Amino acid sequence: MKNIDLRSDTVTWPTEEMRQAMLKAEVGDDVYGDDPTVNHLQEMAAHRLGKEAALFVPTGTMGNQLAVFTHINRGDEVIIAEDNHIVVHEAGGAAVIAGANMRCLPADKGMVNLKAVEKTIRFGEDIHEPKTGLICTENAHSTGVVHPLSYMKELYDLAKKNNIPVHLDGARIFNAASYLKVDAAEIAQYADSIMFCLSKGLCAPVGSMLVGSRQFIDAARRKRKLLGGGMRQVGILAEAGLIALNNMTLRVHVDHLNAKYLASRLAEIPSLEVFEEDVHINMVFFRINKPHNGDDLAEALKKQGILVNPSHEGLMRLVTHYYIGREQIDQTVEAFKAVL
C-alpha cells in the first residue's frame, strides 16, 4: 500500500493512461525541432494560453529562470514580490544565470502595492542607476492564494505604460483559472511570458512550459540550449504532458474541494489554527498552537503512512492532488489527532 503523500502535488506518479501513451509516443530529436509530440504539445500549450508559441522545459525553475534570462540585459533590475517562488525557492538563479538585480518589494501573499511598484521603476537615465528590465508576478501564489484578474490587469497596465515586460510564474495557472472560473488564457493575457508546470497536480512525471510571443520563444530556445535544456527524443515525456494538458487540467477543481474538506476536518483539532479563508486551490496551511518538534511530528506521522513536510516555526502545509481523496483525508486527520 502506498503512503498518503501530502508534501506537495509534485509527488504524483503518472496515470496508467499516461504510461501507456508514453510507451507508444512518436519521437524525434527535439534540438533539431523534429519531435512531433513535443511540437504538438508546444502548439497546444500556446493555444491554451492565447500566445503565439511555447517551449518545453524540464522544470518550472528552468522555465522561470529562462524567462528572466531572455527578457533582461545583465545588470537590469527585476521588480518582484519578496515572497515569490523565483526569489525564495530557486537558489538565487536569477543573479547567477541572468545577472539580474532582484528588487524585492514587501507583499501580502504575493500581491505588491502598485504605487510602490511605480515608484520602484527606474529607466537607467541616471548613470548611477540600473534599468528596470522586468516585472515578475505569481498566480496562483505559493501560499495557495489566487490573485484577482483586476490586480493582474492593473499590474500589467502599469508595466505597459512604462514599456516593461511582465513574466508570470503560473506554475499552477490552471488551479488559479479554476478558482476564478475563467479560462487560463484570461489570466495569461496580463503577462508577456508565462511558465506553467505539467508535473504539479497534473500527474505528468516531468516538464513545464514557457509560453509567449514567437520572437521571445525563439530567443528562449537558444538560451535553453545554453542552460543544458536541449533534449533529444523527449516526446516520451511530452506525451504525458499532452494528457496532463488535455485531461488533468479539467479536474483540478476536485483537488480544491478536497482541500476545503481537509481544512474543515483539521479545524476540528483544538491545537490547530487552520487558515480556511486562504484555501483557494489545493493547499491547506495551518499553525500548530502547542509546543512540538516539527521533525518528530513528521516522523510520527510517517510511521502511520502519512508523509508531510516538517512544520516551520509552527506552520504546516498539506497539498491535495489526484491520489488524495476523502478516505485518505479522513485517515490523515485521525493520524494528526492521535499524534497531537
pLDDT tens column, 10-30:
999 999 999 999 999 999 999
Would you say 139 and 178 are in contact if contact means Cβ atoms under 8 Å apart? no
Last residue of a domain, one of 246, 275, 301: 246
Q: What is the pLDDT of residue 1?
A: 59
Q: Do 241 and 256 sit in the same domain of this protein?
A: no
Q: Is the same domain home to 129 and 194?
A: yes
Q: How does 228-265 read in b/e, with b if 16+ C-beta sit within 10 Å?
A: ebebebbbbbbbbbbbbbeebbeebebbbebbbbbbeb
Where among 246, 276, 307 does a domain terminate? 246
Q: How many CB atoms lie within 10 A of CB 314?
A: 14
Its pTM stands at 0.97
Residue that is last in its domain, among 204, 224, 246? 246
**Half-sphere CA count of 305, side-chain side, radius 13 A:** 11
Q: Looking at residue 274, which CATH number applies to its domain?
A: 3.90.1150.10
Q: Does any domain span residue 277? A: yes
β-bridge mates for residue 209, sequence order: 56, 196
Report the domain count for the chain. Answer: 2
How far are the Cα atoms of 9, 75, 212 from residue 218, in angstroms, in the given order?
A: 31, 22, 10
168 and 40 inside one domain: yes
Any domain includes 4: no
Q: 100 is in which domain, residue-wise?
A: 16-246
| Predicted pLDDT at 186 | 98
- In this structure, the strands spanning 132-138 and 111-112 are unpaired
pLDDT at 2: 85
Does residue 315 belong to any structural domain of this protein? yes
In the chain, which residues have pLDDT < 70? Answer: 1
In 3-state terms, the chain is what percent helix, strand and coil (to 5)? 45, 20, 40
